[in-house]
Structure 1
Amino acid sequence: MDPLKEMFNKKFYQHFATGFASADKNFNKEAFVKDVTENMEGLSLNGRLRNTAIVLKKYLPANYQQSVEIMFRAAPLLNTGYTALVLPDFVALYGKDHFDLSMEALKHFTAFGSSEFAIREFLKTDLVKTLAVLNEWAEDKSQHVRRLASEGSRPRLPWSFKLEQIIKNPTLTTGILEKLKADEELYVKKSVANHLNDISKDNTAYMLQLVKSWDKNNPHTSWIIKHAIRTLIKKGDKDSLAIFNFEKNVKVRLDKLKLSAAVIRLGEALQFEFQLTSEKNTPQKLVIDYAIHYSKSSGELSKKVFKLKEITLLPGQQVQIIKKQLFRDLTTRKHYKGKHLIEIIVNGKVLGSKTFSLVL
C-alpha cells in the first residue's frame, strides 16, 4: 500500500467538499464525498488526484468559466500542498479551449500547491504560446509564479512526461533562465538549478556555455550554477570542475578508510572515516563526495552519490573526515538486506571503497 495516497482519504474529501460548499451554495457536499470515495481504494496517489478532478467536474457548473470562479473562491479554504494540485489538474483536463482563463487560473492556483504538472499539458498542446506566458511569469513579483516558469518548463521534470521539443532545442527556455539566474528566493533558485541540471543530461556543452556567461560573483547566481553542475561534478567532468576552479588533475592520497561496523541493522547509522593527504606542490580545490551502492531486491547494486564537503587542500596538508549515514526506509527508498559498498570520491574520482552488509 502506498502511504502517500492516504493524503486523499475520506477526511480530506469531507474538508474539500466543505470548502466547495462554502464557495458554491449549489455544491452537493454529501453526494460528492460518496462519489469520489466509492472506488478510491484501488487507486494510486496520482490516480486519486486525477479521479478527484474528474468527479469534481460533475458537481460544478458545465460552464468552464463559472467552475473556475468557484475554484478561485474555494482555493483559500482548502488544504495546501500536494492535494491542492487537484485544481490545476482540473484546468489541465478541461481548460484547453480557454487558454487565457486557464493561464490566469494556473498562475493563481500555483501558490496553494503547484501548477508545474498542469502547465506542461499546455506546453504540449501549444509550446510557443505557453512559453511566451512563462517568460512573462519569470518576472512576476510572486516567487511561486517565478518558480512555476522554471519548474513547469523543465525538460525532464520528475513524475511528468519529457518535453521533447525543449530537450532537442534547450534555447527555448533560455529567456526564462536568464531572467531567474540571480533570483534571491531559494524556492526559485532550486528550480533553476534543477532545470539546468536537466539540460545537462542531453545538452551538456550548451548548458555549460550558458552558465559560464553568467556572473559568478553574484552569490545567488553562483549558488544556482554550483547546484546546476552537481551531477557533472560528481562524474568528474573537467569543464564543470573548471568553472569554480576545482582541481582537474587531483593528486590526493586516501588513507585509513574505516567503517564503524562490517554489519549494520536497518534503522542504525554507519559511521565512516578517512584521511586525505595532498600530494601536489600547489593548492587543490576539492569537492569531496561519497557514494553508497545500495543492494536492490535482485541483489544488484544501485549507486547514490552524496555531497560531503568542499575544501582547499594545501601542499602536503592532511585532513581527517568523519561522517554518519543513517539506514532507514523512506518513501523514496526501500532498503534490502545484503552486501553494500561505500566509495570516497574526490572531484569525481573514486579514491577507495569498503564493503559492508545490511540486515533487516
Structure 2
Amino acid sequence: MAEPFKNLINAGLVRACGQHLQRAWRGFDRKDFEARALPGLDALEMKARAMHIADALEATLPGDFDRAAGIIETALAPPAVDDRLAFGITDAGLAGWIGWPLGEFIARRGQAEPERGLLALRELTQRFTSEFAVRPFLLNHFTLTLAHLQRWSADPSPHVRRWTSEGSRPRLPWGLQVKALIADPTPTLPLLRALQDDPSAYVRRSVANHLNDIAKDHPGLVAGWLEEHLPGAPAERTTLLRHASRTLVKRGDPRVLGAWGLGQRFRGEATLVVSPRRVAVGGNVTLVATLASSSPRAQALVVDYVVHHVKANGSSSPKVFKGWKLELAARETRRLEKVHSLRPITTRVYYPGVHRVELQVNGKVVAEAAFTLSRPSL
C-alpha cells in the first residue's frame, strides 16, 4: 500500500525545521517548538498538520515580524535553479514540504506588514510554492499584492514567475477563494499576457490553468483571448491555449470551438448504444457511438458524452466526459467505443435511478441513450 500523502509532513520534518531555525537564530527554543509541534501530529490530516506546525512557529519565533521573517529566510536552503522543486530539507537548509507551515506563518503574521510578508514569500516560493500563503494578502491588500505580482512576473526565477500566476488564480484548488478575482479577473490579465510565452513550460502550465479558472465564470473573456492570441501562435502557446480551453471545449462553447476550427455542425447521422441497460454502483457500462458522415468533405470533430447523474432528491446533474477528437473522412462511418466506470470516488456519490447519456459532437447533442443504476448487491 502506498504511503499516505499526509506523511510527507512528519516528525522528522519538524525536528529538522527546529534545527535549521536554531542555526539561523541561537535564541530559538527548539525544545519548546518540538514540544508544541510534535504531540498529536500523526493523528492529523495533511492540511491540519501544516496548520499545527504553524501554530508552534507562531509561539516560538520572535514577535517582531521583520526579525522572524529574516530568521526563516536565513534558515532556507539555496533557491532552486530550474523548474524542479523535488527536494526537501538538507544540511543546506529548509526546503520542500516544511514550506507549507512556514508560508502559513508568514500569511498570518505578515498582514500587518504586507510589503515585508510578500518579500518573504518570494524567497520561500523558490524552495516550496507560496501559492496558498499569498491568498490572504490578495484578500486583505489586493492592489498592493497585485502590483508586486505583476512586477515579479519578470523575475529571473521560474518559480517566482509561476507563483505570480498560480497564486492569483481565481479558483486555486485548496486555496482561499479570492472573490474579487472570481467576479472580475481582468486585473490579472496583464500578468498572464506577460507569461503566456514564458520559456518555462512549468510557468506556461500555470497560465493555462489560470485561464481555465477564468473560463468557468467568464467564458466570453477566454473565448476573446483565444481569438486574439491563437492565430499564428507558436507551438508552445498553442499547447497552452488548448489546455486553457478544456472546460469550454467540453461545454461546447461555440466561440471556443470555432477558434479551434471545430465549430461546424456535424453533417451525418449518429447513434449511441449503452450496455448493459441495468448496472449496479461499482460496475461499468460500455458506450458505443456510430458516426456516419453525409458530407463530401472531411470533418474535424470533438466527440464527448454527457452523463446526467441522478441526485439524492431525484433530480439530475450533467457531467461532461472527454471522448474522442478525430477527423471523419467524406462519407465515412466510424465506430467509437469507451468503457465508463461507475465506481464511487471521493468527488461523486452515485444514486440509483435512470441516468441519461447524451452524445455531443462539436458541442451539439446528436444522440441519446440511458441506463438504470441500482444499489450494489450485499
Task: State TM-score, norm by structure 1.
Answer: 0.83
| Pairs aligned (count) | 353
Please report how far the alpha carbon of residue 33 of structure 1 lies from its aligned counterpart in structure 2 after TM superposition.
3.8
Letter of the structure 1 residue corresponding to residue 246 of structure 2? R
| 8 Å CA contact 2:192, 2:207 repeated in 1 | yes
| 1:1-360 mapped onto 2 (5 Å cutoff) | 6-7=6-7, 12-24=10-22, 25-36=26-37, 38=39, 45-72=46-73, 73-74=75-76, 76-77=88-89, 80-81=96-97, 84-216=99-231, 217-255=233-271, 257-259=273-275, 262-264=278-280, 266=282, 268-298=283-313, 300-330=315-345, 332-336=346-350, 338-339=352-353, 340-350=355-365, 351-357=367-373, 359-360=375-376
Distance in 2 between the 1:111 and 1:323 partners? 42
Please report how far the alpha carbon of residue 321 of structure 1 lies from its aligned counterpart in structure 2 after TM superposition.
1.5
Please report how far the alpha carbon of residue 246 of structure 1 lies from its aligned counterpart in structure 2 after TM superposition.
0.5
Letter of the structure 1 residue corresponding to residue 347 of structure 2? R
Distance in 2 between the 1:66 and 1:93 partners? 15
Distance in 1 between the 2:323 and 2:206 partners? 22
| 8 Å CA contact 1:285, 1:312 repeated in 2 | yes
| 8 Å CA contact 1:233, 1:241 repeated in 2 | yes
| 8 Å CA contact 1:4, 1:45 repeated in 2 | no
Match of 2:81 in 1: none
SS where residue 174 of structure 1 aligns? helix
Please report how far the alpha carbon of residue 243 of structure 1 lies from its aligned counterpart in structure 2 after TM superposition.
0.4
| 8 Å CA contact 2:170, 2:181 repeated in 1 | yes
Distance in 1 between the 2:230 and 2:349 partners? 42
Letter of the structure 1 residue corresponding to residue 17 of structure 2? G
CA RMSD of aligned residues (A): 3.2
| 8 Å CA contact 2:272, 2:368 repeated in 1 | no
1:91-137 CA-to-partner distances (Å, cap 9, x unmatched) read 11111233343223212222444211221222222222221221222
| 8 Å CA contact 1:328, 1:335 repeated in 2 | no
Task: State TM-score, norm by structure 2.
Answer: 0.80
Gap regions ≥5 residues in structure 1: none
Distance in 2 between the 1:19 and 1:36 partners? 11
Distance in 2 between the 1:273 and 1:314 partners? 19
| 8 Å CA contact 2:344, 2:350 repeated in 1 | no
Distance in 2 between the 1:247 and 1:281 partners? 18
Distance in 1 between the 2:108 and 2:166 partners? 20
